[in-house]
């Protein structure tokens, strides 16, 4: 896979770790809200990663992740 596809998958998997099966955000000891989640993604993947994370969060919360 190319770099971009790998990054997309990594960001999506990272974001999914903070949501339960009902699409509800689940905090842990280091990330307590979605803004912090986006900040961590930005630090690790840059602005492109943040855009991907925002889209993934929207898809999870609206149950649109299967379309």
Q: C-alpha angle with apex 13: 27 to 52, nearest 5 degrees?
A: 95
**Domain extent at residue 53:** 3-61
Verdict on whether the full-model pTM lies above 0.75: yes
Q: Per-residue pLDDT tens for 14-62?
A: 999 999 988 999 999 999 999 999 999 999 999 999 999 999 999 999 8
Measured between alpha carbons, how far is 30 from 49 in angstroms, rounded to an integer? Answer: 19
Please give the pLDDT value at position 1: 67
Is 31 inside any structural domain? yes
Domain count, the chain: 1
Residue 66 included in any domain: no
Residue 20 resides in a domain: yes
Q: Is residue 46 part of a domain?
A: yes
**Cα(31)–Cα(21) distance, rounded to whole angstroms?**
18
Instruction: Examine residue 67 and state whether it is found in any structural domain, yes or no.
Output: no
């Amino acid at each position: 896979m190319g770099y971009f596809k790998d990054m997309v998958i990594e960001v999506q998997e990272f974001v999914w770790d903070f949501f339960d099966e009902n699409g509800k955000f689940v905090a842990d000891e280091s990330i307590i809200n979605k803004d912090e989640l986006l900040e961590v993604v930005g630090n690790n993947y840059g602005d492109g990663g943040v855009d991907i994370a925002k889209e993934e969060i929207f898809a999870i919360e609206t149950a649109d992740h299967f379309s």
